[in-house]
């Protein structure tokens, strides 16, 4: 069966509606998708949809946004850009893609939290490698090349995979035990390493606050120090030393804490991976433009999205605000829908000269013409934004 996408969402077998108990009176006259749409209002024909589909399917269909213009397109759903690539096919077949997509609902927030951790970049990189199963352990290397042994370099008794190294190896356990955080790795033996990291990165499941340092920061630094100890042992033949490794961890924690405290006093963001906005201070629009500041909040746990819009003029005077609750697939989808709501709102207010301000570089780049920046599903939303924006006297984008 060929997958057909309409309005930026795959609806597959919905293209032709087979005879069912609902429409068996017309077995030789199947209706097609366009028959389900009221083209004058650009809305679904609710009665027809609910009449022909099971309630769950009907709800999904009715939640599909119908664009104002454009034509149906075929999309390769395994790639972000919607084009066929051998790589996406390979990843799809091997399951790597689904594994990645399992992270995807929370990926925006998860990766954001990871890269915003107030710790050293090399520590964040280690977490990223762990989450993507890229840590070059012996078990991992053995899946690519021939090596003498897959057993742990430190204890020599168990296969050396990432979870063993960070949580299960006697050396790792000794490090965790020696630190004053009361963390017992054995209590998390039912989780994979990725699940364990996600549990505190996404849900703050373990909420230990130590002198203004949160648990993700502490756990990441301990994991990195254990890995570093293992690498020194393997590559430089340095003996494993629980005491000095623990002391090093406490010293690093104290150093980063001091750095963060100083940064706070001076009003400096000491998070080295934080990319400051090019326009962190709000600037008023020129002349008779109205600037609409747009932002979205996405909750991956229930795919809900909150949209906030604020309009101000060149004197900084508040001209209005709007909040919208909706569903989104991910954070980028939420940001795209936010832009769509902003343009609709500006049209409702009969504004003619507007500036749309968003902190989503991808969405702004896509609206400026680089459609490869966003997922193909969001391109239909942004194309509708462009379509509506063409009716304004002047408009521009700000980030």
Q: Would you say 33 or 155 has its CB closer to Zn ion?
A: 155
State in angstroms the smallest separation of the CB of 158 from Zn ion. 5
Which of 25, 23, 333 is CA-nearest to residue 36?
23
State in angstroms the smallest separation of the CB of 368 from Zn ion. 52
Chain residues in the site for Zn ion (CB under 5 A): 152, 154-155, 169
State in angstroms the smallest separation of the CB of 139 from Zn ion. 12
State in angstroms the smallest separation of the CB of 168 from Zn ion. 7
Report residue 257 as tokens: 């804490």
CA distance 55 to 50: 7
Q: Would you say 15 or 174 has its CB closer to Zn ion?
A: 174
State in angstroms the smallest separation of the CB of 226 from Zn ion. 10
Where does residue 259 rank: exposed (0-12), middle (13-18), buried (19+ CB within 10 A)? middle
Q: What are phi and psi of 332, to 5 degrees?
A: -65, -40
Q: Hey, which bits of the chain come out as E strands?
A: 5-6, 9-10, 37-38, 43-44, 290-299, 304-312, 318-327, 353-357, 394-398
Q: Would you say 226 or 294 has its CB closer to Zn ion?
A: 226
Q: Would you say 159 or 284 has its CB closer to Zn ion?
A: 159
- Side by side, which strands form the sheet with 353-357? 318-327, 304-312, 290-299, 353-357, 394-398
Q: Would you say 149 or 207 has its CB closer to Zn ion?
A: 149
Q: Would you say 232 or 387 has its CB closer to Zn ion?
A: 232
Helix/strand/coil for 295:
strand
State in angstroms the smallest separation of the CB of 151 from Zn ion. 8
């Amino acid at each position: 069966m060929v997958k057909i996408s309409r309005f930026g969402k795959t609806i597959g077998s919905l293209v032709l509606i087979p005879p069912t108990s609902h429409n068996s009176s017309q077995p030789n006259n199947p209706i097609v998708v366009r028959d389900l749409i009221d083209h004058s209002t650009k809305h679904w024909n609710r009665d027809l949809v609910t009449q022909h589909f099971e309630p769950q399917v009907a709800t999904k269909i009715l939640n599909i946004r119908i664009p104002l213009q454009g034509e149906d397109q075929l999309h390769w759903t395994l790639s972000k850009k919607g084009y066929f690539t051998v790589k996406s096919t390979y990843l799809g077949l091997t399951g790597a893609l689904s594994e990645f997509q399992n992270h995807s609902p929370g990926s925006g927030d998860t990766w954001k939290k990871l890269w915003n951790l107030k710790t050293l970049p090399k520590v964040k990189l280690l977490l990223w490698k762990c989450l993507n199963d890229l840590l070059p352990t012996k078990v991992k290397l053995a899946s690519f090349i021939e090596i003498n042994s897959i057993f742990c370099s430190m204890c020599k008794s168990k296969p050396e995979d990432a979870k063993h190294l960070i949580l299960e190896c006697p050396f790792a356990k000794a490090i965790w035990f020696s630190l004053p955080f009361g963390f017992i790795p054995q209590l998390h033996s039912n989780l994979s390493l990725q699940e364990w990291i996600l549990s505190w990165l996404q849900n703050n499941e373990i909420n230990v606050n130590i002198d203004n340092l949160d648990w993700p920061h502490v756990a990441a630094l301990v994991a990195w120090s254990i890995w570093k100890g293992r690498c020194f042992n393997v590559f430089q033949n340095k003996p494993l030393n629980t005491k000095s490794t623990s002391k090093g961890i406490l010293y690093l924690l104290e150093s980063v804490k001091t750095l963060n405290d100083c940064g706070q006093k001076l009003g400096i963001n000491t998070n080295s991976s934080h990319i400051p906005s090019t326009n962190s201070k709000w600037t008023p629009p020129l002349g008779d433009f109205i600037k609409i500041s747009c932002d979205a909040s996405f909750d991956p746990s229930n795919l809900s999205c909150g949209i906030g819009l604020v309009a101000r003029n060149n004197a900084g005077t508040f001209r209005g605000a709007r909040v919208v609750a909706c569903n989104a697939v991910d954070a980028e989808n939420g940001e795209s829908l936010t832009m769509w709501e902003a343009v609709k709102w500006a049209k409702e207010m009969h504004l003619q000269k507007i500036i749309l301000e968003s902190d989503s570089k991808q969405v702004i780049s896509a609206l400026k013409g680089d459609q490869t920046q966003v997922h193909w599903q969001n391109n239909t939303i942004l194309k509708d934004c462009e379509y509506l924006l063409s009716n304004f006297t002047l408009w521009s984008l700000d980030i």
